[in-house]
Structure 1
Amino acid sequence: MPAVDMIGYHNLLPNPLVMVNNGHTVAINIPKLTEVEKANGDFIPYVRGAKLPGEFEVESVHFHWGDKNNRGAEHVINDIRYTMEMHIVHRNTKYASLADALEFADGAAVLGFFFNLDEDDSLGLTAICRHLHLIPEANDAMNLTITFALSSLIANVDVDKFYTYKGSLTTPPCSEAITWVLYPDPIPISPKQIARFRQLQDTQDGALVDNFRQLQSIGNRRVFMRNGNNKHAFVEALKKELDYKKWDWYN
C-alpha cells in the first residue's frame, strides 16, 4: 500500500481562516479560493494515495478532547486512548460540496492525529491555543489574523506509518462516507494547552469536554496497516501475496 501524498500541506492556508466553537468542538474552516487565486495557480491542499478512492481537498480541521488526561481521542490504539485527537477533513474533489459528498461512500476522507500529554507544548498548536479565549461560548466564531501550513500541526509525525479503514462520521448524521487514515505516533500537548480547550463552553452552558463518540464495534470492517519503518518485512509479505495485515479491534 503506498503512502498518503499530502499535496500542498507545506503551503500557507488561504485567508481568512475562520475558527468557531460550534458547541461540540473547535473547528477551523478553510475558505474557498477565488477565481483570481485559481488563475494564479493557487490551490487548496489535498491528499491522494494509500486506499483513498480519488483526490480529496481539505475542508476543515477540528478536535476531540476529554475532561481527564486519559481520554479524549475517538480511536483507541493498542488499548490506549490519548488526550486529544485532531481530524483534518477532506472532500472528494468529484463532489461540489462536503454536504453532497457525504451522500456517497467515497465522499470524504479524514486524517486523524493523536495528542499525548507532555511537559512540552505542541508548537503547531501555539497559534490556535492563543486564540481560544476569543471563542469561549457555543456559536462564537472569529477570523484568525494569522495563517499556517497544515504540516506545522503534524511536525515530527511519521506519516509513512498509518492505519486505514472505511467508516463513518463520528458526529451526526454519522454518514458511512469516510475513508479514515490514522497516524499512531502521538504529538505532545502540554497541560497548559489542553486546559485552554477545556475552558470552552458547550451549547448547554457546561464545559465543552468529552466530545468524543462512544467506541463502536468494528463489525465486518477491515483495518489495514502500513508500517513505513519495516520496509524489508513489508517486501517479504508482498512476496507471499500478503499485501495487508488485518487487525480485529473490539470495544
Structure 2
Amino acid sequence: MNKCLLLIVQLFLIGHFKVSGIHRFGYSNYEQRNWRREHISCGGEMQSPIRIDSFKAIPLRMPALEMIRFHDYLPGPLDLTNNGHSVTLSLPKLPEDDPYQKYIPYVFGARLHNEYVLEGLHFHWGDTNNQGSEHIFNDIRFPIEMHIIYRNRKYDTVGDALNYTDGLTVLGFFFQISEKENKGLSNIVRNLKHVYSVNTRYMLNETFTLASLLPSSDDMERFYTYKGSLTTPPCSEAVTWILFPDPLPISVYQMNKFRNLASDTNQTPIVKNYRKLQKIGSRRVFVRKMKEKIRYHKTNETISYDKWDWMMRPKRSKV
C-alpha cells in the first residue's frame, strides 16, 4: 500500500486534514461494489461490518477492557469535521514530549495484547430510525453507530498501523431513539451547525471527557469482539472490533442534526453512510463471559454464584 493512500486513510479516520483534498467514495450499492475494484482489501475475507448474534457468539473468559484517562478532559483544541462521508472529532496531533500527551485516553485488556491510544471518533447513521448502524445486533439495526478509534501504541501513525492485523482497535456503540436528549452527545450536536457544509471544519472552544459520551463502567463489562477491517476504503484488515450491545439514548432532535449535514455542494444530506454487511466466513465472534450474580435476600448484597455455592455447601460436622 503506497504512502499517499495510507495518508489519505489516516486523515479520514481522525478528521485532521486539509479539507480541500478529501478522498471521495459513495455508499450506494453500485459504489460499494466498486470499492473492491479500487482497493483489493475491500474484497478480503475479514471484512467489516458483520451481523452479531448473541446466541452464536462464543463465551470466553477474558479481562475487562481497561479504559485509562477516560475521565480526564481531552486535550484541545478538538477538531470537528464534515468530510462528506461522516462527521469526525479528532484530537490535535501532539509531539511525544508534549506534556498534554499524558491526558490522551488509551485502552488495554480484553483480547488486546498492547496499549491502544485514542485517535478520534466518527458516526454512521441512516435516514430512518430502523437503519443507520453498520453492525447488526440480534437482527436489530440501530439508527446510529459511533466508532471510537485507537491506534496500537507500538505504531507511530494510523498509516503505519494499517499494515498490521493488530494495528487498530475500534470501540462500537449503538444508539436508540429516546424521548430525552443525550446530554453527553450535546457537546458534539450543538456544534454540528458549524460544519453543516461539506469539507468544513470547526475547532471547538470547549473540551469534555470521553467518559461523558459513554455508558457507565458497569454497562461496559460485557462486550463482543472479533477481527475485522475498516468499514471504509481501503478496508484494511487491521482492526480488532469491540462492540457494546446495550444502546445509548439519542433524541429525535439530536438525530436530525446528524441527518441535516450536507454530503456535497448540492446540499444533499449525509444519510445511509453505512457499509453493507460482510460475510463472517470462518471467523469467530467472542463475548466476554461474566460471572452471573444473584441478590442475597438478607443483606441485599450482590454476590457471585461461586461465592453463593461455597456458602450453601453442607458443612462437615466435627466428630
The alignment's TM-score, normalised by the length of structure 2, stands at: 0.70
User: Contact between 2:74 and 2:103, CA under 8 Å: does it hold in 1?
Assistant: no
SS in 1 for 2:145: strand
Letter aligned with residue 151 of structure 2 = R
Aligned with residue 162 of structure 1, among 223, 232, 250: 223
Letter aligned with residue 108 of structure 1 = L
Aligned with residue 215 of structure 1, among 255, 273, 277: 277
Find the counterpart in structure 1 of residue 28 from structure 2.
none
How do 1:98-247 residues align onto structure 2 when only pairs under 5 Å count?
Answer: 98-156=158-216, 158-203=219-264, 205=266, 206-228=268-290, 230=292
User: Contact between 2:79 and 2:201, CA under 8 Å: does it hold in 1?
Assistant: yes
Find the counterpart in structure 2 of residue 10 from structure 1.
71
User: Contact between 1:108 and 1:179, CA under 8 Å: does it hold in 2?
Assistant: yes
SS in 2 for 1:124: coil
**Matched-pair identity in %:** 50
SS in 1 for 2:190: helix
Letter aligned with residue 216 of structure 1 = Q
How do 1:10-159 residues align onto structure 2 when only pairs under 5 Å count?
Answer: 10-34=71-95, 37-38=98-99, 42-156=102-216, 158-159=219-220
User: Contact between 2:192 and 2:257, CA under 8 Å: does it hold in 1?
Assistant: yes
What is the alpha-carbon distance in structure 2 between the residues aligned to residue 41 and residue 167 of structure 1?
Answer: 28
Name the CA shift for 1:194/1:229 in 2 (closer, same or farther; >3 Å).
farther
CA positional deviation for 1:65: 0.5
What is the alpha-carbon distance in structure 2 between the residues aligned to residue 29 and residue 17 of structure 1?
Answer: 6
What is the alpha-carbon distance in structure 1 between the residues aligned to residue 94 and residue 292 of structure 2?
Answer: 40
User: Contact between 2:170 and 2:241, CA under 8 Å: does it hold in 1?
Assistant: yes
What is the alpha-carbon distance in structure 2 between the residues aligned to residue 215 and residue 181 of structure 1?
Answer: 17
CA positional deviation for 1:17: 0.4
What is the alpha-carbon distance in structure 2 between the residues aligned to residue 125 and residue 234 of structure 1?
Answer: 39
Moved more, 215-224 or 150-159: 150-159
What is the alpha-carbon distance in structure 2 between the residues aligned to residue 54 and residue 92 of structure 1?
Answer: 7
Q: More helix per residue: 1 or 2?
A: 2
Name the CA shift for 1:180/1:30 in 2 (closer, same or farther; >3 Å).
same
What is the alpha-carbon distance in structure 2 between the residues aligned to residue 97 and residue 156 of structure 1?
Answer: 30
What is the alpha-carbon distance in structure 1 between the residues aligned to residue 113 and residue 183 of structure 2?
Answer: 32
User: Contact between 1:17 and 1:29, CA under 8 Å: does it hold in 2?
Assistant: yes
Q: CA deviation digits over 1:33-59, x for unaligned, max 9?
A: 346643x77241100000013110000
Q: CA deviation digits over 1:71-119, x for unaligned, max 9?
A: 1111111001111100000000000000110111110000000100010
Name the CA shift for 1:234/1:111 in 2 (closer, same or farther; >3 Å).
farther
| 4+ runs deviating over 2 angstroms | 32-38, 40-43, 227-235
Moved more, 130-139 or 197-206: 197-206
Q: How many pairs were matched up?
A: 234
